[in-house]
Chains A and B, each alone.
Chain A
């Protein structure tokens, strides 16, 4: 079946602008994760959604970052007032409830100029 999809694949934005990144998980997967991959920091966990429970936002680096998941499916990661250090690849993953496998999407490469 279809894997995790993310859009856009690439996003170039000016410093100070807001951006929205979208993730469409594998159908039926109740858990959704956002990670960030950057040269300096490697792969970092950002946020976790499980069903209708309150998300775990413990990995978000600042209050400029937020995410929502509507209807238990699609998720949007929003970065407000982007900074150059936000430049990275943002990866989304999903998993089925109770199972350990996390399946990743292709990522969105964000460049802040």
Chain B
């Protein structure tokens, strides 16, 4: 199966930018996704990028994709305490999604 790797933990100060990184092995993934999960909740789709794109920006979120290196990143500008959550990257394998283990983002005042 596909491996999707993420760092486990990130801590940032409120107002700073956060960058969450992900590497994946399946070069056949057509789409790459970022999901957010708050405690006790399901997965919220934040954004996704088509594999032939390098960058996608959506308000405070910027996704960068380096297909050669199989590296995906999510930048959150002006991080707020409400952004504290677990962030999962995923790539599709056909229609199923393969998820990383998640990065826990802690935003401190």
Contact = CB atoms under 8 A, between A and B. Distances in A.
B45 A45 contact: no
Given A33-B96, A45-B98, A105 B88 contact: no
A50 B95 CA distance: 10
B98 A102 contact: no
A82 B92 CA distance: 30
A59 B31 CA distance: 20
Size bracket of the B interface: 20 to 34
Contacts of A107: 41-42
A43 B42 contact: no
Nearest to B101: A42
Of the listed residues A42, A103, A106, the one surrounded by the most CB atoms of chain B closer than 10 A to its CB is A42
A106 B31 CA distance: 23
A100 B91 CA distance: 11
A59 to B, nearest CB: 7
Interface in B70-99: 88, 90, 92, 95-99
A67 interface: no
Interface string B47-71: 0100000000000000000000000
B88 A43 contact: yes
Interface of B: 30-31, 33, 35, 41-45, 48, 88, 90, 92, 95-102
13 contacts: A33-B97, A43-B90, A45-B97, A56-B95, A56-B96, A100-B48, A100-B92, A102-B97, A104-B43, A104-B44, A104-B45, A105-B42, A106-B41
